[in-house]
Amino acid sequence: MIKYRLPGFIALFIPLSWSIHACAAPLHLDAHDIAAAGIKTTVLIESLHAQELAAQGTVLDPAAIMQTASRLVTADANVAAARAEMIFATEQAAQNRQLYTQGRNISRAVLQQSIATADSATAALTAAQTKQAAEKTAAITQWGPVLTRAMQANAPIMSSIANGAVTVIGVSLPPGSALSQLPATSTANLGGRTYDMALIGGIPGMLGGIPGEALLYSMPTQRNLPIGTYLNVGVPTGSEIKGVTVPASAIIWENGKSIAYRGDAAGNFEPTDISTASPVHGGYFIASELIPGDHIVTQGAELLAAAPTVPTIVKAKAGTADPDDD
Residues in the chain, overall count: 326
CA 201 → CA 138, 168, 305, distances in Å?
16, 11, 46
Tell which phi-psi region holds residue 86, choosing left (phi > 0), alpha (psi between -120 and 50) or beta: alpha
Buried b (16+ CB within 10 A) or exposed e, 255-279: eeebbbbbbeeebebbbbebebebb
The alpha carbon of 121 is separated from its chain's Cα centroid by a whole number of angstroms, namely: 49
Angle between helices 62-101 and 108-153 (to 10 degrees): 150
Q: What letter does residue 105 receive in the DSSP assignment?
A: S
CA 115 → CA 79, 88, 89, 121, distances in Å?
21, 12, 8, 10
Render 177-221 in DSSP notation, one character per residue.
---SS--SEEEEEETTEEEEEEEEEEESS-BTTB-S-EEEEEEE-
Residue among 196, 137, 150, 199 at smallest CA distance from 170? 199
Q: Tens of pLDDT along the chain (326 residues)?
A: 334 444 444 444 444 333 333 345 678 888 888 888 899 999 999 888 777 888 999 999 999 999 999 999 999 999 999 999 999 999 999 999 999 888 777 889 999 999 999 999 999 999 999 999 999 999 999 999 999 999 999 999 999 999 999 999 999 988 888 787 889 999 999 987 889 999 999 998 777 777 778 999 999 999 999 999 999 998 888 777 889 999 999 999 888 889 999 999 888 999 999 888 788 888 888 888 889 999 999 998 888 888 754 333 333 334 444 444 44
Strand (E) or helix (H) holding 296: strand 295-299
Work out the number of other CB atoms within 10 angstroms of the CB of residue 53.
Answer: 19
- pTM of the predicted structure, to 2 decimals: 0.61
Helix, strand, coil content of the chain in percent (nearest 5): 35, 35, 30
Task: List CB contacts of 153: < 8 A, sequence separation 6 or more.
Answer: none
